[in-house]
């Protein structure tokens, strides 16, 4: 091959490799960009989960043959959120209940959802809103840790689960209060 043609072929080859290198770099950037976009989507989908803070969670211990108890906690959401369902493996039924005075009578009723307004702490406590666990499958002893799942719904209608571990306190326990 003549030196001029060889030089021309080498230049063409170097140019082709440079183009391929640029294409490879762009493809690598696209893959990286897609990975970051995917990660952002996963984090956004779990936004309600990451946006609700649970404090002072506990469950009231029971005596043998007792079939119901209450669970209590303080919930603070960064964005408007609702608790739309609760579940636990230790009870056949788990519901959000509200206790309120009706004249001289204290009444308790299940609610379909509990609103968590953005930035406001909602307290689930004895005598107010609480999680009612019924059809208990076993006694809950002081010191036990009971798993509870809260199903959260954001204002966009997307749902996520928030798993909470509830330490069991004695039958006479009251929530820890901070002043």
| Residue ranges per structural domain of the chain | 1-45, 52-169
CATH for 52-169 is: 2.60.40.1890
* pLDDT score at 99: 83
pTM (two decimals): 0.68
Alpha carbon 70 to chain centroid, angstroms? 21
pLDDT band at 55 (very low <50, low <70, confident <90, very high): very high
- Tens of pLDDT, residue by residue over 84-141, are 999 999 999 999 999 877 788 878 889 999 999 999 999 999 989 999 999 999 999 9
Residue 73, judged by CB atoms within 10 A of its CB (0-12, 13-18, 19+), counts as buried
pLDDT the model gives residue 17: 52
C-beta atoms surrounding 125 within 10 Å: 16
The CA-based angle 74-151-132, given to 5 degrees, is 60
Which helix H or strand E contains 142, and what residues bound it? none
Other CB atoms within 10 A of residue 132 CB: 19
Mean pLDDT over 28-57 rounds to 59
Please report the pLDDT score of residue 3 as a whole number. 52
């Amino acid at each position: 091959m003549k030196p001029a043609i060889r030089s021309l072929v080498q230049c063409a080859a170097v140019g082709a490799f440079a183009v391929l290198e640029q294409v490879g770099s762009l493809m690598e950037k696209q893959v990286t960009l897609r990975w970051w976009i995917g990660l952002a989507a996963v984090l956004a989908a779990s936004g309600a989960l990451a946006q609700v803070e649970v404090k002072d969670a506990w469950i009231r211990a029971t005596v043998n043959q007792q079939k119901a108890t209450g669970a209590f906690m303080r919930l603070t959401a960064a964005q408007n959120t609702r608790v739309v369902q609760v579940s636990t493996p230790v009870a056949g039924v788990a519901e959000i209940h509200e206790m309120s005075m009706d004249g001289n009578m204290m009444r308790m009723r299940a609610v379909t959802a509990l609103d968590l307004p953005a930035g406001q702490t909602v307290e689930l406590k004895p005598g107010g809103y609480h999680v009612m666990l019924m059809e208990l499958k076993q006694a809950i002893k002081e010191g036990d840790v009971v798993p509870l799942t809260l199903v959260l719904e954001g204002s966009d209608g997307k749902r996520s689960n928030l798993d909470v571990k509830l330490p069991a306190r004695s039958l006479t326990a009251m929530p820890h209060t901070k002043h």
